[in-house]
Structures are given as structure tokens and as C-alpha cells.
Amino acid sequence: MDSKLTLSVEETVKKSTLKKYKIACIVLLALLVIVTLGLGLRLGLRQLDEQGSCRKKCFESSYRALDGCRCDVGCKDRGDCCWDFEETCVESTRIWTCNTFRCGESRLEPSLCSCSDDCLQRKDCCADYKSVCQGETPWVKEKCATAQTSQCPAGFDLPPVILFSMDGFRAEYLQTWSTLMPNINKMKTCGIHSKYLRSVYPTKTFPNHYTIVTGLYPESHGIIDNNMYDVNLNKNFSLSSKEKNDPAWWQGQPVCNIPHGAPMSPPFPV
């Protein structure tokens, strides 16, 4: 009986010792992996530093990195461009947005917009410059304005009205796909949204815009197409011609021109 008890105790001790060895091996293996990754990352970053960069050095003919790479116009022909030349000096001129890598960039004249430090003074910043490079809250994430009284922006004598419409039967964009269009969704949420508005016929741009402005159908306000001929005026109307500026084409009265408090019938449904 005693021999059996002794054997059982020894087996328990062996199992406990084996379990400790397994745990120790796992911990050592994990430490080895962490150290290896740390050394690899450090060496990789050091290698990138030694390679040189084109940041703030784009198209400078006098710049030469420690490894001899260049960032001037002719580096591609010579084959000695720095590793980030394409992304920093070429691709950044083809996009309309900033990123942390572009912030404070040297001015690139061919750029569609700029993320340089002087872009605010030169008024050519990318739309998201303040939010990306200066840390400001983007307009689309701000709360809706709750001013008690309307205030005209600087330079306006009357409050401006921004009319946003969508060609064709695309009201679904404001419902199903609103998350893909955050700026439009912001205007819908903070502004006035005519949820059940429908296009008049013909479903063209100018006829519908003037219908929204006047509350009249195209046959009443006169703008029945984007391009048309009037037999009485003997002239052609189009969006690209000077004729669109002739008041003779535009019948009806814009709702905003009607004096406040004047009697008027409600606008026709559109």
C-alpha cells in the first residue's frame, strides 16, 4: 500500500515539473520572437533613414542623400531616385487630399492642391488640410449650428441659400448610400431636406432647378429644356451660350423675390 502511494506522489511531482518546463519554454520562445521582431524593426527603420527621403526635398537639384539618391526631375532617367520619390513628389500632385506624410511638404507647383505650411496664405490648401495637418475637427463631424438668429457670412448683405439637387431619379442616394456621401448627408441633416420631392418633366437640370426656385411647372416658367429654340425670339438657348443670361427666357417669379407677408398661392408640387 505504501509503495503504491509513493509511486502516485512521484508521478504527480513529475507531471507538475514537466508542466513548469513547458510553461518556461513557451515564455522563452515568446521572448525570443519579441526580441527578434524588435531588432528587425529597428534595423529596418535605420536602413530607411540611411536610404534618404524626398520629403520636403522634391525637385531640388542640389539635394543628395547620404546614400547618393536624388529627388530632382532627372532622377528617374538616371535611375538614382530616393525610395519615396514616386509617392512623395509624383503621386502627391495627383490627389486632392492631405495626409500626415504630406503635411508641411515643400511646395509643388503642379499639385492640384497643397499641404505646405503657407497654403493658407496662398489659398490653395487641400480641403482637409486643417483637419489632417492642424488637428481641427472636420466640418462633417461638427454638430449642427444652433444659432437663434441667422447671421450673414462676411461679404453677404442677404443670407445666402445653397440649393443642392441631384439629376435624375437619384433620391435613393440620400437614403441607402448616405454613409458613402458624408458631406451631402451632413447638409441633409443640418439643412432642410424635401424627403418626398420628385422631378418634373422633362427631367433636365435647368427645368428642375427653376421649378424649385419658382414653384412652377416648366410649361409655366418657360425653361423646358437645357437646349431649346424659341420661334418668337428666334434664338437658341443652351447652358453654354450667353442667351441663358437674357431675362426674356425666364418667366415666373422666384419665391425669394416675393416680399415677406405678401399674399401668394402655395407653390405647385414638383
Instruction: Identify the structural domains of the chain with CATH numbers, from first to last.
Output: 94-141 (4.10.410.20), 198-270 (no CATH)
Residue type, 43: L
Average pLDDT, the chain: 78
Region 11-36 average pLDDT = 69
The model scores a pTM over 0.75: no
Q: Which of 108, 114, 48 is nearest to 83 (CA)?
A: 48
H-only helix segments in 168-244: 182-190, 205-214, 218-221
Residue type, 259: P
Across the strands, what pairs with 81? 70
Task: List C-alpha distances in Å: 270 to 31, 138, 195, 202, 215.
Answer: 71, 34, 12, 12, 7
Q: How far apart are CA 40 and CA 37, in angstroms?
A: 5
Q: How far apart are CA 216 and CA 267, in angstroms?
A: 7
Is the previous residue joined to 202 through a cis bond, with omega within 30 degrees of 0?
yes
Task: List C-alpha distances in Å: 182 to 132, 175, 179, 187, 188.
Answer: 17, 12, 6, 9, 10
In tens, the pLDDT along 135-190 reads 999 888 888 876 565 677 677 777 677 777 776 556 677 778 888 888 888 888 88
What single DSSP character describes residue 206? H
Check residue 129 and give its pLDDT: 94
Q: How far apart are CA 17 and CA 9, in angstroms?
A: 12
Tell me the range of 38-42, 44-48, 150-154, 197-201 where mean pLDDT is highest. Answer: 197-201
Residue type, 117: D
Q: How far apart are CA 253 and CA 240, in angstroms?
A: 23
Q: Which of 88, 179, 205, 214 is catalytic?
A: 205
Residue type, 93: T
For residue 205, indicate whether it is catalytic. yes
Give the cell for residue 178.
448616405
**Residue pair 126/113 in contact by the 8 Å Cβ criterion:** yes
In tens, the pLDDT along 103-134 reads 988 888 788 999 999 999 999 999 899 999 99
Q: How far apart are CA 226 and CA 241, in angstroms?
A: 11
Region 224-243 average pLDDT = 92
